[in-house]
Amino acid sequence: MEYRYRPVGVCSQDMVIDIDGDIIKSVEIVGGCAGNTVGVARLIAGMKIDEAIKRLKGIPCGLRSTSCPDQLAKALEEIKEKIG
């Protein structure tokens, strides 16, 4: 199932996440630092939601308290709540 998330406090503007059960099939991050966002998206493809959250949550970006990976973790937490 495809989900959309609008990140807050980062350069990226939108995240499109495709989930199958508890597995992340694909992630597309619109905006942000392309090399980093594409890299993160490819690294977590095929990963379980809980594992991705554990690895990404709390990562800052420079002086910001959040980052695109951290926002992706927040998106995955919201998705996890929705799918129960």
Express each pLDDT in 44-64 by its tens digit.
999 999 999 999 999 999 999
Spatial distance between the Cα atoms of 17 and 20, rounded to a whole number of angstroms: 10
pTM: 0.95
Q: Which amino acid type is present at position 24?
A: I
Express each pLDDT in 71-82 by its tens digit.
999 999 999 999
pLDDT above 90 for 30: yes
What tokens were used for 68?
């695109």
Q: What is the 3-state secondary structure (H, E, C) of the chain?
A: CEEEECCCCCCEEEEEEEEECCEEEEEEEEECCHHHHHHHHHHHCCCEHHHHHHHHCCCCECCECCCHHHHHHHHHHHHHHHHC
Domain ranges of the chain: 2-83
What CATH fold (topology level) applies to the domain 2-83?
A: Enolase-like; domain 1 (3.30.390)
- Give residue for tokens 């799918």: 83
